[in-house]
């Protein structure tokens, strides 16, 4: 129950609307009771029972009821039965109108409340995802995040918010109805409160047992399907071994088992209505018996109010049922909400030191000093020392899994070093403002990340303020201008989901154009051409060469032919720098690099 109220926290900013909703519910309930009460004067008129009551004015033991009774009688007497009939008919219309107006007003607020909570949860998760550290995003988690965002939020919406409706409305209804019932006859009400829970309990038990059988039925059906799948999948074997009989026997067994279970399930299901109805009839009969006796005894309850009692009582059943169902719903929503909380409460890691320095560019070098790193397990980088001068181009090569991507990910602080430090112009990168530090790096990776939007908007991510000329220039430099203008909508063409309306090479050239617009001092190419065919690779490579000019660049490349002209090649194996030098130096050295080049020449 405590957990449940925790879910209400999503609604805490909207207290005013909750108050409105509750007030309207209260008015709705009050007018419901009053409108039902309007049957009393009709009964009086039709059965003509007012005369004797007024004259001897018996004490019914209840001031309110007496007064109400009395005023009905006065109206009937003064107006005459036919006119009174008309007046009370009008009254009914007015009362029902009011009741429904308040009901709608309450729902008007509820429509807002239940949806705003879902909007806020989605917003909270999304913003959280933007600030979570890179380390949070393991492949396994990515799938989970999607599930949180879709299934779990919907579950919360369906269960909790649906239950909210019941919770804000039904208790108010039940309370008002109950007070009225007590007002009409407390004796009868106490009797009802004893009888009702018993029949409710029995009905609840039947429901539970039904659920269990239904679940078993599901499992059995699974077995039937599996048996079918196995046969179809292994049909060669079945026929080859002439094992049809064995398989048929097995299939018949599971199929019959499922059949038996389903028959039982349906029989149980069919039993619920008769039992439920009989139980209700017994309950009602007991109330009629007890209440009828009260009427006959004369001075506790009169006939009209007894009928009113039964009417209001019958109206109380459906809110009571809705309320109890909503508790079951809430249970399911709670587990979804707990899973959402795991995302919302995940550690954010504060990256920025207080008083962090500003950094717009650098003059001298980026240096790795004794850098060690792991993802929580074995060391991925060991004791890396590497100084890269401003304007220098560096290729990182070596067997895959050696730690090349990890090494470049450390510079924008997607991850932080475990030991050692990375310095820019002699200053530890952890001393800089993270946002500005990241702004120094432009990244083109193997997978070009395009968003489902126009080419123009995808480019503008690189530089929001770029004008048309800059866009066109960037496209030219990236060898992308030709194909973009050949599209009917040109720059405004939509790239499709994840850019899938374009070829791999086209996507990659757009990513490069975006990086050019961003104009960062350092470029990182992580296998930027690996996924391309030779023709696109040539186009992309020449775009890359232009982009690298005058910039510090880190190039991770699988195809060694593409990096022969860089200033320095760094060979990384098993987390360590094993060789450095130019292409010719390394070939001469005759180490790992030379072996890798020869392997690729062969292939």
Question: Which residues in this chain contact ligand ADP in the complex, by CB under 6 A?
Answer: 138, 375, 380, 400-406
CA distance 531 to 584: 27
- In order of 39, 51, 73, 92, 591, the CA distances from 80 in angstroms are 17, 12, 10, 18, 116
> Smallest distance, Å, CB 386 to ligand ADP?
15
- In order of 320, 559, 566, 579, the CA distances from 593 in angstroms are 77, 12, 14, 8
For residue 26, the surrounding DSSP H or E stretch is helix 15-37
> Smallest distance, Å, CB 272 to ligand ADP?
53
- The tokens describing 250, both together, are 């097995």
State which residue, 114 or 404, has the beta carbon closest to ligand ADP. 404
* Residues whose CB is less than 8 angstroms from the CB of residue 219 and which lie 6 or more positions away in sequence, other chains included: none
Residue 67: alpha-carbon gap to chain centroid: 55
> Smallest distance, Å, CB 344 to ligand ADP?
22
Concatenate the DSSP letters of all residues of 408-454 into one string: HHHTTTSS--SEEEEEETTEEGGGB-HHHHHHTEEEEESS----SSB
- The alpha helices in 351-491, defined as continuous H runs, are 404-410, 434-439, 455-460, 468-477, 481-486
> Smallest distance, Å, CB 385 to ligand ADP?
18
> Smallest distance, Å, CB 530 to ligand ADP?
11
Sign of CA pseudo-dihedral 76, 78, 82, 85: negative
Judge whether 62 and 294 are in contact, CB under 8 Å: no
Q: How far apart are the first and last CA of the chain?
A: 66
For residue 39, the surrounding DSSP H or E stretch is helix 39-47
> Smallest distance, Å, CB 399 to ligand ADP?
7
> Smallest distance, Å, CB 7 to ligand ADP?
33
State which residue, 406 or 553, has the beta carbon closest to ligand ADP. 406
CA distance 149 to 127: 12
State which residue, 80 or 401, has the beta carbon closest to ligand ADP. 401
For every residue of 231-249, which 3-state class applies, written as one string?
Answer: HHHCHHHHHHCCCHHHHHH
> Smallest distance, Å, CB 440 to ligand ADP?
20
Q: Which 8-state DSSP code applies to residue 454?
A: B
State which residue, 30 or 395, has the beta carbon closest to ligand ADP. 395
- The tokens describing 341, both together, are 């909380």
CA distance 428 to 421: 6
Question: What b/e string do you get for 104-141 counting C-beta neighbours within 10 Å, with b at 16 or more?
Answer: ebbbebbeebbebbbeebeeebeebeeebbeebeeeee
- The full length of the chain comes to 603
> Smallest distance, Å, CB 557 to ligand ADP?
11
State which residue, 273 or 400, has the beta carbon closest to ligand ADP. 400
> Smallest distance, Å, CB 403 to ligand ADP?
4
For residue 102, the surrounding DSSP H or E stretch is helix 81-131
Counting Cβ atoms within 10 Å, is residue 594 exposed (0-12), middle (13-18) or buried (19+)?
middle
CA distance 156 to 121: 9
Determine the 3-state secondary structure of 557 from DSSP: coil
> Smallest distance, Å, CB 5 to ligand ADP?
38
State which residue, 241 or 375, has the beta carbon closest to ligand ADP. 375
State which residue, 191 or 415, has the beta carbon closest to ligand ADP. 415
State which residue, 337 or 406, has the beta carbon closest to ligand ADP. 406
> Smallest distance, Å, CB 576 to ligand ADP?
12
State which residue, 292 or 401, has the beta carbon closest to ligand ADP. 401
Instruction: Using CA atoms of 566, 567, 572, 575 in order, give the dihedral in degrees to the nearest 10.
Output: -120
> Smallest distance, Å, CB 379 to ligand ADP?
9
> Of 249, 251, 268, nearest to 210 (Cα)?
268
CA distance 418 to 589: 32
State which residue, 337 or 529, has the beta carbon closest to ligand ADP. 529
State which residue, 313 or 525, has the beta carbon closest to ligand ADP. 525
State which residue, 42 or 414, has the beta carbon closest to ligand ADP. 414
State which residue, 266 or 375, has the beta carbon closest to ligand ADP. 375
> Smallest distance, Å, CB 527 to ligand ADP?
8
State which residue, 163 or 586, has the beta carbon closest to ligand ADP. 586
Question: What b/e string do you get for 455-494 counting C-beta neighbours within 10 Å, with b at 16 or more?
Answer: bbbbbbebbeebeeebbbbbbbbbbbbebbeebeeebebe
> Smallest distance, Å, CB 329 to ligand ADP?
38
- The alpha helices in 345-416, defined as continuous H runs, are 404-410
State which residue, 144 or 463, has the beta carbon closest to ligand ADP. 144
């Amino acid at each position: 129950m405590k957990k449940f109220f925790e879910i209400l926290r999503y609604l805490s900013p909207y207290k005013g609307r909750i108050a409105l909703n509750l007030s309207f519910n209260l008015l709705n309930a009050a007018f419901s009771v009053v409108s039902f009460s309007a049957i009393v004067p009709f009964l009086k008129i039709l059965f003509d029972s007012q005369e004797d009551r007024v004259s001897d004015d018996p004490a019914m033991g209840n001031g309110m009821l007496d007064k109400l009774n009395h005023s009905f009688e006065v109206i009937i007497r003064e107006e005459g039965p036919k006119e009174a009939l008309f007046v009370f008919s009008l009254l009914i219309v007015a009362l029902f109108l009011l009741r429904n107006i308040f009901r709608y007003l309450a729902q008007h607020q509820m429509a807002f409340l239940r949806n705003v909570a879902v909007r806020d949860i989605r917003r909270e998760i999304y913003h959280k995802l933007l600030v979570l550290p890179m380390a949070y995003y393991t492949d396994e988690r990515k799938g989970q995040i999607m599930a949180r965002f879709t299934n779990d939020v919907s579950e919360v919406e369906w269960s909790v918010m649906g239950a909210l409706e019941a919770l804000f409305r039904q208790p108010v209804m039940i309370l008002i109805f109950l007070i009225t019932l007590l007002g009409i006859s407390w004796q009868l009400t106490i009797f009802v409160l004893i009888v009702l829970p018993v029949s409710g309990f029995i009905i609840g038990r039947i429901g539970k047992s039904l659920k269990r059988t239904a679940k078993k039925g599901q499992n059995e059906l699974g077995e039937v399907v599996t048996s079918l799948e196995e046969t179809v999948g292994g049909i060669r074997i079945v026929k080859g071994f002439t094992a049809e009989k064995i398989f048929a026997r097995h299939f018949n067994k599971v199929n019959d088992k499922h059949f038996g279970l389903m028959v039982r399930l349906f029989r149980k299901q069919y039993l619920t209505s008769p039992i439920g109805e009989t139980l209700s009839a017994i309950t009602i009969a007991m109330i009629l018996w007890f209440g009828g006796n009260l009427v006959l005894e004369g001075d506790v309850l009169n006939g009209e109010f007894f009928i009113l009692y039964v009417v209001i009582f019958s109206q109380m059943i459906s809110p009571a049922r809705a309320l109890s169902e909503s508790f079951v719903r809430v249970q399911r929503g709670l587990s979804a909400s707990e899973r959402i909380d795991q995302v919302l409460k995940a550690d954010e890691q504060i990256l920025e030191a207080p008083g962090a320095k500003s950094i717009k560019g650098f003059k001298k070098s980026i240096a790795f000093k004794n850098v060690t790193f792991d993802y929580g397990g074995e060391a991925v980088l060991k004791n890396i020392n590497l100084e890269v001068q401003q304007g220098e181009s560096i290729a990182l090569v070596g067997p895959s899994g050696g730690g090349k991507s990890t090494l470049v990910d450390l510079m924008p602080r997607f991850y932080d070093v475990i030991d050692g430090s990375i310095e820019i112009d002699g200053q530890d990168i952890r001393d800089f403002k993270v946002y500005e530090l990241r702004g120094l790096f432009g990244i083109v990776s193997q997978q070009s990340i395009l968003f489902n939007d126009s080419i123009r908007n995808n480019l503008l991510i690189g530089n929001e303020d770029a004008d048309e000329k800059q866009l066109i220039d960037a496209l030219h430099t990236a060898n992308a201008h030709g194909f973009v203008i050949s599209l009917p909508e040109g720059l405004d063409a939509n790239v499709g989901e994840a850019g899938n309306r374009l070829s791999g090479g086209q996507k990659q050239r757009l990513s490069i154009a975006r990086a050019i617009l961003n104009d960062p001092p350092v470029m990182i190419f992580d296998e930027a051409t690996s996924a391309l065919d030779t023709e696109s690779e040539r186009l992309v490579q020449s775009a890359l060469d232009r982009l690298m000019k005058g910039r510090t660049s880190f190039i991770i490349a699988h195809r060694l032919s593409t990096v022969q002209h860089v200033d320095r090649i760094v060979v990384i194996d098993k987390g360590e720098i094993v060789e450095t030098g130019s292409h010719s130096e390394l070939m001469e050295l005759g180490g790992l690099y030379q072996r890798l080049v020869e392997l690729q020449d062969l292939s």
